[in-house]
Amino acid sequence: MTDPVVGLVLEGRYRLEERLARGGMSTVYAATDLRLHRTVAVKVMAEHLAHDPTFVDRFTREARAAAMLSHPNVVSVSDQGADQGLVFLVMELVRGRTLRDLLQARGRLTVAEAFAVLEPVLAGLSAAHRAGIVHRDVKPENVLIGHDGTVKVADFGLARALTGTGQTSHTGGVLIGTVAYLSPEQLERGRADARSDVYAAGLVLFEMLTGHPPYGGDTPLAVAYQHVHHDVPLPSSEAPTVPWQVDELVKRTTRRDPAVRPLDAGSFLADLEDVRSDLGLARVPVPTGRSSAGPATIRPTNRPSRRHPSEPGDGSDPGTEVLGGRSSRAGRTSLLPPVGTGSTADVGGRRPVPPHRTGVSPHVRRRRARLAVAVVLLLAITIGAVGWWMGSGRWTEVPSLVGSDRAAAVDLLQEAGLDPVFAEDQFSETVPEGVVISADPEGGEAIRNSDVELVVSKGPERFTVPTDLVGQPIEAVRDALRGIPVVPTEQQDYNDEIPVGSVTGFEPEAGTEVKRGDPVTVYVSRGRAPVAIANVVGQPADAAQTNLEAQGFSVARTVGRSADVPTGAVMAVSPAAGTQAPYGSEVTVQVSEGVPQVTVPDVGGERAADAIATLEAAGLEVTTSTFITGDRVYRQSPGAGTVVDQGSEVSLLLSFG
């Protein structure tokens, strides 16, 4: 019957050409990207799941998880969308087959071949683990082997990003995965981390070496029971040629307690390389199943004679099983494999038990009766779990998270079966750092395994002005402050040490925490503060000059005469003493050359009293003498016009006139 989807063009770009594979949850088609003219793989979600938000979320999560990774051993995802009622994602097309196909054809691989396949698988998983992503569904169906021997890990549909506790959440009561490869912690607690992928990869190594998974049972629940309660057998118990070092590697990676497994795929890969080195194991090409007989021919080396449930006769992918919920096999709701077919193979690939050829003893009948009762009880529990999930069980109550710290909020959400998603942290003046400010949704009911977005406080928003800006030129400081959300203002400031035009300090001080928009005063140096001129009047000229220069002034000298200041002493300062003058400015001092000089007035012929008054007014001392008799000046000495020191004596000779 022709697939009705083939021929559709999704979003006007991807034309579906050929169906490549079909599983319980999705179908993969080869398609042509009409925009880039290349062949791609398009994975389309099964129609009956496209309206279920939980599965749509899983499908979208696969696109996001794979898009985060860029590694040669991970199938790249380039697009995701929904069109014409189809939810799809666009992936790299790998021409080749799955590891499941190879094992169905080959049975088991040699140790060298198993290592050749597992090494790139672990390299791809290691890249995912470094990015904080756990695959959660590692199995042979999700390991693609190209015709050229390239190995890629596919199907990150169950992947989850690591939360703050380092674990991933379960799917709210329904555990999705392939039960043959689920770790004990996934089965018991519904949680997984990188060590769960290590466990599954260890089982894949066991299967490559033996040709079948380690556990089998009549139901998936029986297989799950063995994962939880039994240790994985050694590969050499099935394949005696497997070295003991490989046995130990499988044992170490599949321990039931995750604490004693390798921490992640990178650690597993390092252990694998150590074993290869210890064994001196040569590297061989990745087996592709192709031979010289033609590209479609598969070489049947080591193929087992029995068929295991992981190798169905029709070659179909066993797909992902839902434990405690609906099976992902198309159209089935039962967890039991088909019965009444006469097949003696069991679900997990254990050795088949040959049927009795004679009558059944009462002891065997009693055992079978007890087994039937156990199966009925398991079915009843399963049906009850499915009913609970489809009813109220898929819903949960969103806890009150505002005011809780980050770790407590994660714990509360995981206990409620919800996944925390952290938005960008925000500053808050009222909510302490690390405490939840808001949640979306904030309360009420939500579907289990859905996301709750949390906004966590970064505490009060504060900024600091760098202390190394002090002493920098104001232009450089202006540039630096443009990157800090404060309001700067500039103020001139005298400073004896910082040059003019450079910053002397801030208010508040540099290094102090300030809020966004706070004012910050920037003090800019005007140079040295003005200096009060010292009073050096009366000091010797040289001493006065030394004192003024010590204040930072330059000194200029002039001369003058003073009756009060001794010769050689300062008689005046300009600007005047006590005046504020700029540092480095010039101060002039006037140095005394002695008393003032005067010109002797001409008083000849004047009456004695008038002459004496004139001379004394000129600052001269007067002595008189009389020739014969009279009161008029007959002669004066020094003579009129002579320049003499103030206070000099002038002699007058009086006579009659």
Q: Helix or strand or coil: residue 622? A: strand
Strands 586-592 and 554-560 turn out to be parallel
Which segments of the chain belong to CATH 1.10.510.10? Answer: 96-173+190-212+236-316
pLDDT for the residue 351: 37
Encode 132-155: b = buried (16+ Cβ within 10 Å), e = exposed: ebbbbbbbbbbbbbeeeebbbbbb
Q: Topology of 463-527 in CATH?
A: Trypsin Inhibitor V; Chain A (3.30.10)
Give the span between the Cα atoms of 508 and 467, in whole angstroms: 11
The fold adopted by the segment(s) 597-655 is: Trypsin Inhibitor V; Chain A (3.30.10)
Distance CA 175, CA 179 (A): 9
CA distances from 391 to 309, 348, 386, 395, 549 (A): 32, 31, 8, 8, 98
Q: Strand locations in 125-181, DSSP E?
A: 133-134, 143-146, 151-153, 160-161, 175-177
Specify the pTM. 0.48
Active site residues: 137
Q: What is the DSSP string of 192-251?
A: B-HHHHHHHHHHHHHHHHHSS-S---SSHHHHHHHHHHSPPPPGGGT-TTS-HHHHHHHH
Please name which of 201, 213, 367 lies closest in space to residue 304, comparing C-alpha atoms.
213
Question: Would you state the pLDDT for residue 102?
Answer: 94
CATH 3.30.10.20 residue window(s) in the chain: 394-456, 463-527, 531-592, 597-655
CATH for the stretch 531-592:
3.30.10.20
* Average pLDDT of adjacent 10-residue blocks, the chain of 657 residues: 85 93 84 94 85 74 73 90 90 91 92 96 93 88 93 73 39 55 85 91 96 88 89 94 96 94 95 95 88 39 41 42 40 31 34 41 65 75 61 76 91 87 91 94 84 92 93 94 93 91 94 93 93 93 94 92 88 92 92 90 90 90 84 88 88 82
- At the second CATH level, the architecture of 394-456 is 2-Layer Sandwich (3.30)
Q: Residue 229 contacts by C-beta under 8 Å, 6 or more apart in sequence? A: none
Q: What's the DSSP call for residue 109? A: -
Q: Which CATH architecture has domain 9-91?
A: 2-Layer Sandwich (3.30)
Q: State in words which class domain 96-173+190-212+236-316 has.
A: mainly alpha
What region, left, alpha or beta, does residue 629 occupy, with left being phi > 0 and alpha being psi -120 to 50 degrees?
A: beta
